[in-house]
């Protein structure tokens, strides 16, 4: 009998995993994708939405045609319950059985980490498309009535790249609007030093970012937790306070509720503990990739921080999981292993008309090589990659790099 592979989620991890399994078995497998969203979202471009540089239609595409073109069933519905022993997933559209399940459900934004993190207080985030659109409304109000701006990343956050990109894009947009001298700009972060990025930093990274900030007149506060936000004021755990007219804060992520609510599947944050095969520690027929997979933070900092589960490692994890499932269906041993910390770090940090390319042989130290390459070519590279990746994903060319 043909095996059934069920994939929860249709973005970076889900799309890559579903199509990779289908291709690996030359179509001789039933693959179904269940997704709460019917559109793919290129999350890295959310940094540009508040500034009016991108709209929803620029960075999304419908999932159904892509999956249908590759013989994958697509169900636009939210998963409501996972029953590992019965190997079933319940949704409003029906109940689906599986032989193998891939959890690629992404994240929930943990807004509770900072009481008062809400647009009504002038505090925005950009972790979802609706959030980014609302942050754009706040940005336009700031341009009409300029005042201090605070950009930050809270305790527990791992997505520091987005905070830095938004920071430097903010500096660029303020300069373009002729407001650089009128609008004080401050960056506040849980990182122990600038350029930690949640990956332990890279040689010369702290110095480079200090130079960037000095050049743009950005004040920085590192190694601090945020206590509370209220209209026009951000309170820090050390008793300090920052005034603002506009703030954008990146909070931590949690696993989706359906994963967190499945007994024995997830950790306390709703992420799935996995082996380096991306197979669930508790349930051998379940795999988890991307943000849904738990990653142990390999260090202790004065203020807790997370690690960045970005698109590149998500794709690697999805391919590893897909290859292992295909091998098991063929009756073979699982051939692929790749611990999260061993995945190369590849990132382009945009800065409006400038940027930094971040490349290292391993996500976590110790590393043999790691460099930061600043310059306008980084901005051009991010623009080109956005177009390339959206084309690749829409066409289902998941075998391409």
Please name which of 299, 293, 395, 401 lies closest in space to residue 70, comparing C-alpha atoms: 395
Q: Which among 159, 259, 305, 358 is annotated as catalytic?
A: 159
Q: What is the DSSP letter of 279?
A: B
Q: Which among 18, 347, 351, 378 is annotated as catalytic?
A: 347
Token pair listed for 230: 């209220």
| C-alpha span between 288 and 277 (Å, rounded) | 9
Q: Are the beta carbons of 79 and 36 closer than 8 angstroms? A: yes
> 3-class SS at 123?
strand
Peptide bond into 366 cis (omega under 30): yes
| C-alpha span between 284 and 302 (Å, rounded) | 36
Active site residue 347: yes
Please name which of 367, 312, 345 lies closest in space to residue 198, comparing C-alpha atoms: 345
Q: How far is CA 333 from CA 8, 20, 21, 277, in A?
A: 24, 18, 16, 11
Active site residue 213: no
| C-alpha span between 232 and 246 (Å, rounded) | 8
Which residue reads 């990779």 in tokens?
Answer: 20
| C-alpha span between 296 and 359 (Å, rounded) | 21
E-only strand ranges, 154-310: 185-189, 218-221, 226-230, 233-236, 241-243, 246-250, 253-254, 286-288
| C-alpha span between 281 and 89 (Å, rounded) | 19
Catalytic residue annotation: 159, 347
């Amino acid at each position: 009998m043909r095996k059934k592979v069920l994939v929860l989620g249709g973005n970076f991890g889900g799309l890559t995993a579903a199509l990779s399994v289908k291709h690996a078995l030359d179509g001789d497998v039933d693959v179904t994708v269940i997704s709460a969203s019917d559109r793919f979202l290129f999350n890295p471009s959310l940094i540009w939405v508040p500034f009016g540089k991108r709209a929803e239609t620029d960075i999304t595409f419908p999932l159904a045609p892509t999956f249908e073109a590759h013989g994958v069933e697509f169900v636009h519905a939210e998963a409501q319950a996972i029953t590992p022993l019965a190997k079933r997933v319940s949704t409003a559209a029906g109940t689906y059985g599986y032989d193998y399940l891939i959890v690629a459900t992404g994240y929930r934004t943990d807004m509770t980490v900072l009481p008062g993190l809400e647009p009504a207080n002038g505090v925005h985030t950009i972790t979802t498309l609706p959030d980014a659109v609302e942050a754009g409304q706040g940005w336009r109000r700031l341009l009409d009535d300029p005042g201090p701006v605070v950009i930050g990343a809270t305790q527990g956050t791992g997505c520091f790249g987005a905070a830095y990109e938004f920071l430097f894009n903010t500096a660029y947009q303020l300069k373009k609007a002729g407001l650089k001298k009128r609008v004080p700009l401050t960056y506040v972060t849980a990182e122990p030093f600038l350029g930690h990025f949640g990956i332990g930093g890279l040689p010369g990274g702290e110095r480079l970012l200090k130079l960037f900030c000095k050049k743009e007149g950005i004040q920085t506060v590192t190694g601090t937790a945020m206590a509370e936000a209220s209209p026009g004021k951000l309170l820090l755990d050390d008793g300090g306070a920052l005034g603002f007219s506009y703030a954008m804060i990146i909070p931590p992520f949690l696993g989706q509720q359906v994963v967190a609510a499945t007994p024995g599947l997830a950790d306390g944050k709703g992420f799935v503990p996995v082996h380096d095969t991306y197979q669930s520690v508790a349930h051998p027929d379940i795999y988890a990739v991307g943000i849904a997979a738990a990653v142990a933070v390999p260090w202790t900092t004065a203020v807790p921080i997370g690690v960045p589960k970005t698109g590149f490692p998500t794709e690697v994890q999805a391919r590893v999981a897909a290859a292992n499932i295909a091998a098991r269906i063929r009756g073979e041993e699982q051939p692929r292993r790749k611990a999260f910390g061993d995945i190369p770090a590849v990132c382009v940090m945009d800065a409006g008309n400038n940027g930094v390319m971040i490349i290292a042989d391993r996500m976590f130290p110790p590393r043999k090589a790691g460099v930061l390459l600043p310059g306008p070519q980084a901005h051009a590279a991010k623009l080109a990659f956005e177009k390339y990746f959206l084309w690749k994903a829409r066409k289902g060319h998941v075998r391409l790099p």
